[in-house]
Amino acid sequence: MRASDRRRQVALPLVAACVGIIVIPIVASDFVLLQIVIKSLWLGIAGASLAFLIGQAGLISLGQTAIFGTAGYVMAILTLSHGINIWLAVACAVAGGPVAGLLVGLVSSRSSGLYLMMLTLAVGVFAFFFGQQYQPITRGHTGFNGFESPIVGGVDFNERRPLFYVTAVSAVLIVVFLRYVMGSPAGLAFRGLRDNRRRLAALGYSPATVTIAAFGVSGVAAGIGGVLSVWYNGAISPGSIDITRIIELLVVVTIGGAIRIEGAFLGALAVTLLRNFASDFTNRVETLVGAAFIIVVLFSRHGILGLWLEARSRTPQVFGALRSQWRLRSKAVAGPPAR
């Protein structure tokens, strides 16, 4: 691929994202902005951490909610229990994401495949029970409520539009950061871990170290998603990181498609739309989400994004075939050339 094509592939999505950040608050209603757009963005950020692990490093982790919850709990504990300045608490929480990711990676570094998935599931379940039972720190099953977003320069980040701008800019920065890592030498090592662990080891890399590094990178996105979820909900509790949330994150990434980071946001939007509008006519929303999950998996191994990419790749072939047929018909109608 030429350098100009690569620049175009990077520039066009960035321009589209900037236009969306400007236009969406103008055209979207308050309900759509709060219940659909903002929720899809912070859920997509959390899903991007898992999509990065699956698509880039071939690591299916069920412990991302533990990282997600660690960041959220750190911010809530520092602000509500200790009265620390909100921005210092946010900085500590964001830093806590990659630290928790490194710890999860350290636990899982010696395993792969099914064993890694089960180890990370154990980490996620441990985080849930720790949050539920260790009341002196986490306040037990009630968790932390009444979290107030900061007010800066008269701008209240509890309001829909300021919260949208913070979430949308964070989503863009996360995608840019993960894309940068994927294009770096570290990204090559992550892909080597995904494609062939033995060959990676033969080249002098340690698969365990590369696994830990991948979890650390994904922890950046998971930590920011955890902070934004507390801003959005105004609360965090063990119910925010239970087994249901673990499955939800996996469903979001699978429906959207882990082939690219952007698939997590597409899956988050699809699940959020389905849950919001299906609840108007049925109380079996989770059944519909499960049915959508099965349908997408049956028809596309790379989710909705995979269907879109496949359709886009076939479009030139379809138009080329139509053009060839048109030329053949034109020649047939015109008849043989005059001698």
Which CATH code of 1.20.120, 1.10.3470, 1.10.10, 2.40.30 fits the domain covering 3-285?
Answer: 1.10.3470
For the ranges 8-17, 138-147, 226-235, the lowest mean pLDDT is seen at 8-17
Q: Between 124 and 147, where is the model more confident? A: 124
The neighbour count for residue 338, using CB atoms within 10 Å, is 4
Going by pLDDT thresholds of 50, 70 and 90, the confidence category of residue 324 is low
pLDDT at 34 over 90: no
* pTM of the shown model: 0.86
Helix, strand, coil abundance in the chain, percent, nearest 5: 80, 0, 20
Going by pLDDT thresholds of 50, 70 and 90, the confidence category of residue 174 is very high
Interval 97-114 mean pLDDT: 90
Query: Can you read off the two tokens belonging to residue 282?
Result: 């049925």
Distance CA 55, CA 47 (A): 12
Say what the pLDDT of residue 92 is: 93
Angle of helix 160-182 relative to helix 3-27, nearest 10 degrees?
Answer: 170
Going by pLDDT thresholds of 50, 70 and 90, the confidence category of residue 315 is low
Distance CA 287, CA 291 (A): 6
Distance CA 306, CA 190 (A): 21
Q: How far is residue 135 from each of residues 129, 131, 145, 243, measured CA to CA in Å? A: 11, 7, 14, 20
Going by pLDDT thresholds of 50, 70 and 90, the confidence category of residue 71 is very high
| Residue-range domain boundaries for the chain | 3-285, 300-339
For residues 23 and 37, the answer to whether their CB atoms sit within 8 Å is: no
pLDDT at 306 over 80: no
pLDDT at 321 over 60: no
Say what the pLDDT of residue 9 is: 60
Distance CA 6, CA 4 (A): 5
Interval 214-222 mean pLDDT: 93
Going by pLDDT thresholds of 50, 70 and 90, the confidence category of residue 10 is low
Interval 193-202 mean pLDDT: 88
Query: Can you read off the two tokens belonging to residue 301?
Result: 């191994």
